[in-house]
Amino acid sequence: MYLKLYVYLARYRHYRWVPSGIRVTKIDDLNFSWQDKHVSVARPCGYLQCLHETNTRAMSGRSKGGPILIAFAAAFLPQAENVAGVGGGGMFGDVNISAILDSFSISYDKRVRPNYGGPPVEVGVTMYVLSISSLSEVKMDFTLDFYFRQFWTDPRLAYKKRPGVETLSVGSEFIKNIWVPDTFFVNEKQSYFHIATTSNEFIRIHYSGSITRSIRLTITASCPMNLQYFPMDRQLCHIEIESFGYTMRDIRYKWNEGPNSVGVSSEVSLPQFKVLGHRQRAMEISLTTGNYSRLACEIQFVRSMGYYLIQIYIPSGLIVIISWVSFWLNRNATPARVALGVTTVLTMTTLMSSTNAALPKISYVKSIDVYLGTCFVMVFASLLEYATVGYMAKRIQMRKQRFVAIQKIASEKKLPVDCPSIGDPHTLSKLGTLGRCPPGRPSEVRFKVHDPKVHSKGGTLENTINGGGRGVEEDNPGPHSHILHPGKDISKLLGMTPSDIDKYSRIVFPVCFVCFNLMYWIIYLHVSDVVADDLVLLEED
């Protein structure tokens, strides 16, 4: 006679009889044991299915004895995890882990959130940043690798506490069988899961129904940057977490451990940045489809100046200093001074172009633009200084040549150099061969330069003195006449000589550049430290 045992459990957790010859050794909740080799328990089945199978077997007469039906109420037999499962499921002492996991799939609908129609599900979040691989000014994004953990409670996954089995750790395959929050990253540009050597994800189920999901992610997120103080800038990048479909009536996110919910590894380092600190915020976002709960993790970076000092600031300063060498060269060394000035200007242009090529095309002026622009102006000014010196030297040389010519012609006419005003051709013609000057006038030599009418008639300096050209009144020499006193230095133009300009430039240019550097570094270093319009004050780790 076979003993047929059909145990119908509350909440549709039932087990049906299978004559496989496997013995049931113990059922804790029933407090009795069998040693009958014909009794065993198989996988769960529905209540109506088991009842139908029981009636069918009873009516078929396959057993000589009638069916023995033992039904227990839910209060006395709430769980079925104690029964050994067919197929040799995982065992922890007398507890069958596989049976516990299999029981979760009974009457569980993963399409429905926990507490549907009731209070919203509270999802706690923690993060631990493993590394930050890049922070790009050109693409305005940053890439980080981190552990992302979510915590929520699903009463449908609660089970009876067993000694030593308070938490079940399962693989990523179990995710497909339960409800999980539809969390996404708002400012994500690209992301991927890690699958070496297996999927970097796990689930922990507490006996109370608390769920912990941990996953490793690498995300490239957008990070809008303000480069006004580049390269002395500080940037604030953030990651925003939100539910894609559930509003605040269904899901509310929170930082699970308060201010300590986000951790950053001490080994995080970047070539051009340092991590100053981080903080987290919780907010409510209003969209057209409703209000959503959002979390934000903010990480503040400060740029390292070493690279830019070596590659940009120091070279540009040296180029400016090299341009000053022109002030110590002879003003007649035209090839050397021109080549030096042009070379420094072209070098500064190349340096500015290469610097801006590695940065986004923005419309406002950056800190580095101010420095490079000033250096370019200094180099260009040194080139203009030599052009000014050359022009003055040429004008003075022309004056000397004309004065010498006048002296020569005057001597040929037996006129003293300190003759009274010789303002026009008629003055010389009136003097004739007297060889003396009329008294009562100061000693000076007056001559006219750049008279287009005289030149148009083919006149020369000699012809002019000999009486050629149109006459001019004696007492009214006109605004274009130049008076040369014998004691006056004709080697100066506007009271300065070309050598004086070089001497002044040797002092003025270095002093201006030093003053500019003092103002530049004091202002920008101070402003970059105190400006916090788009940043947050973060505590040091």
Q: Residue 282 has which token pair? A: 């919780």
The reported pTM is 0.65
Question: Alpha-carbon distance 311 to 492, whole Å?
Answer: 44
- Residues in the chain predicted with pLDDT less than 70, given as ranges, are 1-95, 413-495, 529-541
β-pair type (5-8, 68-71): parallel
Q: What is the CA radius of gyration of the chain?
A: 49
Contact 278, 300 (CB under 8 A): yes
Other beta carbons less than 10 A from residue 495's beta carbon:
7
Distance of CA 382 to the CA centre of its chain: 37
Phi, psi (degrees; rounded to nearest 5) at 187: -95, 25
pLDDT given at position 40: 35
Domains of the chain, with CATH numbers? 5-103 (no CATH), 121-304 (2.70.170.10), 307-392+497-530 (1.20.58.390), 418-484 (no CATH)
Going by C-beta distance under 8 Å and a sequence separation of 6 or more, which residues neighbour residue 308?
231, 368
Q: C-alpha distances in angstroms, 536 versus 238, 273, 308, 322?
A: 12, 17, 25, 43
pLDDT given at position 400: 73
β-pair type (251-255, 188-193): unpaired
Question: Alpha-carbon distance 148 to 181, whole Å?
Answer: 13
pLDDT given at position 52: 46
Q: Is residue 211 classed as helix, strand or coil in its secondary structure? A: strand
pLDDT given at position 213: 95
Going by C-beta distance under 8 Å and a sequence separation of 6 or more, which residues neighbour residue 118?
none
Going by C-beta distance under 8 Å and a sequence separation of 6 or more, which residues neighbour residue 361?
none
